[in-house]
Amino acid sequence: MNTFSCETLDRLRDLERHLLDAIKGQDHVIPRVVSVLRRGEMGLAHPSRPKGSFLFVGPTGVGKTELASCFTEYLFGSGHLHRFDMSEFQNQSSVGLLLGQTPTEIGMLGKAMERSDKGTLLFDEMEKAHPLVLDLFLQILDVGRITLATGETKNLNGYYIVFTSNIGSAEAMRMESSAFATIERTVLRRVDQVLRPELVARINEKVVFNRLSYLVQREICEQMLDREIKRLESLGFEVHLDAHAIEQLVREGFHRTLGARPMRNTVDRYLQERVVNRVMESKCTLRPF
């Protein structure tokens, strides 16, 4: 029987709370993700397959990539999330980009795995990938290894695999008054229509992310403000905001269909412009104060 240190168990116990604090508006997703992660970290996953696999489905800007980034950094530290935008892998030569196109190349996937033998491989908007790339995903999920153009075989049993997709998002956004369970069934039915069933069946957890309400985006705005203010403070700049300014930012950054992405731009622009204006008014050389 495997034994685990108290430190390891405590970190796995705290994982769910950490993700709930970091990812707003998706509380229904976190327990299912954590279940796979705990099994993976305790060595219960099949040794010839990845530690766990996920399909995160939902509108843009709702936290799909953020969740993958957050759990990866918590489990492995920074620098262990390797992201691939599948919109760049839509033609027949795409497999060569990933695995290498000549016997001397290891490709983008090989380079990512060369940097570390553990972490998360994130494939964004997987439905845009060429069918040959989808064949590669089948191999990754089924046998947990790939062969690079150099002939070297790489094992993926130290990695989590995350696919993201916007499949069904248009339908979900039109179902604004429907219960989430109904939206979830509709989106997953659409996933089954678009993706090959043998690929979907090999993914451990397929979870549908909710659209972000105004109140949730307000929480996200406060979270972003706190992070950006701390970052600016680390550079030597001090920024104070009143309640009126926060409400103004929430109203300006809220977007029903694009989620939290416009909010991030709004927060960064507002705080950084305040710093610039203050320094410019000081009639001094631009420097931290």
Domain extent for 22: 6-208
Q: 81-90: buried (b, 16+ CB within 10 Å) or exposed (e) per residue?
A: bbebebeebe
Output the domain CATH number for residue 104. 3.40.50.300
Using CA atoms, how far residue 69 sits from 24, 53, 162, in Å, is 14, 14, 10
Check: CB of residue 206 under 8 Å from CB of residue 200. Answer: yes
Mean model confidence pLDDT for the chain: 90
Task: Tell me the pairing of strands 52-57 and 81-85.
Answer: unpaired
At residue 82, the pLDDT reads 97
Tell whether 186 and 224 lie within a shared domain. Answer: no
Residue 288 lies in a domain: no
The answer on pLDDT for 286 being more than 60 is no
Domain boundary among 174, 193, 208: 208
pTM of the predicted protein model: 0.89
Band the pLDDT of 283: cuts 50, 70, 90: low
In this prediction, residue 260 has a pLDDT band, given cuts at 50, 70 and 90, of confident
Q: What angle do CA 266, 272, 273 make, to 5 degrees?
A: 85
Asked, for residue 289, whether it belongs to a domain, the answer is no
Question: Quick check: 208 and 184 in contact, CB under 8 A?
Answer: yes
Same domain, 183 and 46: yes
Question: Where do we find the tokens 């953020």?
Answer: 66
| Predicted local confidence at residue 156, as pLDDT | 94
User: Diameter of the chain by CA atoms?
Assistant: 68
H or E segment to which residue 115 belongs: helix 107-115
- Domain end (from 179, 208, 237): 208
Closest alpha carbon to 107 in 154, 141, 73: 154
Which of 208, 231, 250 lies at the terminal end of a domain, its last residue? Answer: 208
Could you tell me where the DSSP H helices lie in 122-179?
131-143, 169-174
Check whether residue 23 and residue 145 sit in a common domain.
Answer: yes
Residue 121 in any domain: the answer is: yes
- Structure confidence at residue 174 (pLDDT): 81
Within a domain: 91: yes
Q: Are residues 232 and 203 in the same domain?
A: no
> What's the pLDDT score for residue 98?
94
Between CA 205 and CA 60 the distance in angstroms is 19
- Closest Cα to residue 184, out of 211, 202, 214? 211
pLDDT at position 181 is 86
Mean pLDDT computed over 119-128: 96
Which residue, chain included where needed, has tokens 């709370």?
17
Q: What are phi and psi of 224, to 5 degrees?
A: -65, -40
Contacts 24+ apart (CB under 8 A), 248-254: 249/221, 249/225, 250/214, 250/217, 250/218, 250/221, 253/217, 253/221, 254/214, 254/217
Task: Tell me what the mean pLDDT of segment 82-86 comes to.
Answer: 96
pLDDT of residue 8: 87
Q: Looking at the structure, do residues 148 and 48 belong to the same domain, yes or no?
A: yes
Sign of the torsion formed by the C-alpha atoms of 189, 193, 195 and 201: positive
Q: Are 113 and 147 in contact (CB under 8 A)?
A: no
- Give the domain CATH number at 274: 1.10.8.60
Q: Are residues 54 and 169 in the same domain?
A: yes
Decide if pLDDT at 289 tops 50: no
Tokens representing 115 are 């940097």
In-domain check, residue 286? no
Total domains in the chain come to 2
- Residue 125 corresponds to which amino acid? E
Assigned domain for 234 exists? yes
CB 143 within 8 A of CB 104: no
- What local confidence, expressed as pLDDT, does residue 274 receive? 87
CA distance 24 to 141: 29
- Whether residue 287 lies inside any domain: the answer is no
* Per-residue model confidence as pLDDT tens digits over 169-214: 888 778 777 888 888 899 999 999 999 999 999 999 999 999 888 9
